[in-house]
Amino acid sequence: MCGIVGIVRNDAKAVDQVLLSRMCAAIRHRGPDEDGFYVNGPVGLAMRRLSIIDLKGGQQPIHNQDRTAWIVFNGEIYNYLELREELEKLGHVFYTTAQSICVECLLSPSGMKELKNCFSPETELARNHCCMPR
């Protein structure tokens, strides 16, 4: 169990970081091990984590190699070891063994692959409405 919260402002004003922190604190029961934040202008992401895989290196939000894309992720990727191997062959470099790094790389044009997964509704919403090229 983990928890994800976020704010995306349509008026391009900066996200209220105090509000984002309060939102994340309200779901502490969903992930007692740690929290993580990413704020960049009108976008704010936060999450609560229950550590299962990569206990020390799986902090979120998680970013791609050049830190141009960030995600929060809650779900299980059943084939992530195989995906990781394929992505490494494509030239992706990983800084963590967490499953979520595979999602980040898969969202890049060179990494589009099929995930065998159990996505949370929040991840599906973000993937379908915020992250995918239009």
The residues that are catalytic are: 2
Could you tell me which residues come within 8 angstroms of residue 1 by beta carbon, excluding any fewer than 6 positions away? 30, 31, 50
**Tokens representing 50?**
């229950």
C-alpha closest to that of 48 among 95, 6, 15, 80: 6
